[in-house]
Structure 1
Amino acid sequence: MFEQGMARLHELMVILYALSVMLYFIDFLNQNRKANKIAFWMLSIVWVLQTIFLFLYMLKTNRFPVLTLFEGLYFYAWILITLSLIINRLLRMDFTVFFTNIIGFAIMAIHTFAPVQMQSEAMAEQLVSELLFIHITMAILSYAAFSLSFIFSMLYLLQHRLLKMKKWSQRLWRLSDLDKLEKLSYVSNAVGVTMLLLSLILGVIWKFIKLPDVSWYDAKIITSFILLMIYSAYLYLKVRKGLYGKSLALLNAAAFLIILINFFLVSRFSSFHFWYT
């Protein structure tokens, strides 16, 4: 019972960490101080819980927790979170904070879900199954965000066409303005990219733990990383190159076609998620 409770607390920390990373990414793109503040306090909660567990473990073992691989991973994750909080508070280096937390999240997930650290075999199997569940859930949530972004882009293109044709009707006013539609599409993609990135990190951990024989050239793996690169390119073109308007909306619509191909077609040729009997 105690072991299960500890596992649940570690899973909660991973979820809070994932939300924190997502908010840090939004702040990194938009310089959103509110998102940064919420992310900082979420990560602070994770740090406090980690510190308590670290201290209790040291009391239990009467030594510093670095003698085994998984002790080292936990301490490493704690150091990365500590550094991230310090950098965020004192140096205001958003790029460094975001990527430090990406590494920290990966290390934390490995420590939480790797079955080797569990004394109970049944508990280890349950944790590995929950790792897959969280991985798939995050992927689906990212697809939902991309779908919303696609809808906003299509409404943008429709609004743009109606304005160009000078069709002033009630339908035009119900579509919202172009700037708002473009912003909503961009924000949805920012959320989607973060969720997909975290999902792929968990998916890679899952592969190492449960499916070491599955090829890295599996269709699902390749197209998922291609999808991440395409939407990352969208954000890069929007934020760094200043691309906007119809061209950006068309790019977003084309990217959504890759999602449909990945979800409905590529899955038929992949063995990545057909793992459990």
Structure 2
Amino acid sequence: MFEYMMTRLHELMVVLYALSILLYFIDFLHKNQKANQFAFWILSIVWVLQTIFLFLYMFRTGRFPVLTIFEGLYFYAWVLLTLSLSINRLLRTDFTVFFTNVLGFSIIAIHTFAPVQMESEALAEQLVSELLFIHITMAILSYAAFTLSFVFSLLFLLQHKLLKEKKWGHRLWRLGNLSQLEKMSYVLNAIGVPMLLLSLILGVQWAYIKLPNVIWYDPKIISSFILLVVYSVFLFLRVRKGMYGKSLAILNTAAFLIVLINFFLVSRLSTFHFWY
């Protein structure tokens, strides 16, 4: 019972960690102070939970947890989280904080879902299944964000066309203004990219645990990382290069075609993504 409760609390930590990374990514893109504060407090909760578990483990074993690889991973994740919170408060280097947390998330996910550390084989199998469930859920949520972003880009292009052709009418006003459509398209992509990144991290871990002979150049794996790169380029052009308007909307529309190809076509070519 104690092991089961600890496992559930560790899974809660993974979810909270993912939420904080999403908020840190939003802050990383355009210095949103509220997102940063929420991310900091959520991550602080994770740190408190990790610290409690660390001391409980030391109390039960009577030693410092660094003698096995899984003990070392947990302590390493705790150190990274502690450093991340310190850097966030003292230095305000957003780039460092975000990528430190991505690394910390990867490590705590490996520790949480690794079946070899479970005494119960049934619980180990359940953990692996839940890892797959979280991976798929986060991937679908990212696809949903990209889909809505695509819809807003299409509406932007239609609105832009109507304005250029000076076709004033009720449809023009019902579409919304251009700046709002463009902003919503960008915000949804800013949510989708970190969700897809975290989903891929969990998916790689699941494949490593469950499919030891997995082909790492599987079409689904390659196309998923290509998708992540394409939408990351979209955000880079929007935030760093200041690209706006019709050209960015067209790029976002083209990027969504990769989502469709990845979801419907490439999944059929994959050797193990038959559950999509």
Alpha-carbon distance in structure 1 between the residues aligned to 2:63 and 2:272: 40
Residue 58 of structure 2 corresponds to 58
| Structure 1: segments with no counterpart, 5+ residues | none
Letter of the 1:18 partner, please give it.
Answer: A
1:189-228 aligned at under 5 Å gives the runs 189-228=189-228
Alpha-carbon distance in structure 1 between the residues aligned to 2:207 and 2:263: 19
| Cα contact 2:143–2:192 (8 A) shared by 1 | yes
1:7-46 aligned at under 5 Å gives the runs 7-46=7-46
Alpha-carbon distance in structure 2 between the residues aligned to 1:117 and 1:89: 34
- Per the TM alignment, residue 173 of structure 1 is displaced from its structure 2 partner at its CA by 1.1
| Structure 2: segments with no counterpart, 5+ residues | none
Residue 243 of structure 1 corresponds to 243
Letter of the 1:237 partner, please give it.
Answer: L
Residue 176 of structure 2 corresponds to 176
Residue 91 of structure 1 corresponds to 91
- Per the TM alignment, residue 170 of structure 1 is displaced from its structure 2 partner at its CA by 1.3
Letter of the 1:170 partner, please give it.
Answer: H
- Per the TM alignment, residue 221 of structure 1 is displaced from its structure 2 partner at its CA by 0.3
Residue 47 of structure 2 corresponds to 47
- Per the TM alignment, residue 174 of structure 1 is displaced from its structure 2 partner at its CA by 1.2
- Per the TM alignment, residue 75 of structure 1 is displaced from its structure 2 partner at its CA by 0.4
Alpha-carbon distance in structure 2 between the residues aligned to 1:65 and 1:104: 17
| Cα contact 2:40–2:85 (8 A) shared by 1 | yes
Alpha-carbon distance in structure 2 between the residues aligned to 1:140 and 1:49: 28
What TM-score does the superposition give when structure 1 sets the normalisation length? Answer: 0.98
Residue 148 of structure 1 corresponds to 148
Please give the root-mean-square deviation of Cα atoms over the aligned residues, in Å.
0.8
Q: Does 1:121 align with 2:85?
A: no
Alpha-carbon distance in structure 1 between the residues aligned to 2:236 and 2:4: 42
Letter of the 2:113 partner, please give it.
Answer: F
Q: Secondary structure at the match of 1:272?
A: coil
What TM-score does the superposition give when structure 2 sets the normalisation length? Answer: 0.98
Alpha-carbon distance in structure 1 between the residues aligned to 2:57 and 2:213: 35
- Per the TM alignment, residue 248 of structure 1 is displaced from its structure 2 partner at its CA by 0.2
- Per the TM alignment, residue 49 of structure 1 is displaced from its structure 2 partner at its CA by 0.3
Q: Deviations over 1:88-111 (max 9, x none)?
A: 011000000000000000000000
**What percent identity do the matched residue pairs reach?**
78
Q: Deviations over 1:109-144 (max 9, x none)?
A: 000001011000110000001000000000000000
- Per the TM alignment, residue 74 of structure 1 is displaced from its structure 2 partner at its CA by 0.4
Residue 138 of structure 2 corresponds to 138
Count residues with an aligned counterpart: 275
Alpha-carbon distance in structure 2 between the residues aligned to 1:59 and 1:16: 25
Residue 253 of structure 1 corresponds to 253
Letter of the 2:114 partner, please give it.
Answer: A
- Per the TM alignment, residue 62 of structure 1 is displaced from its structure 2 partner at its CA by 0.9
Alpha-carbon distance in structure 1 between the residues aligned to 2:181 and 2:89: 33
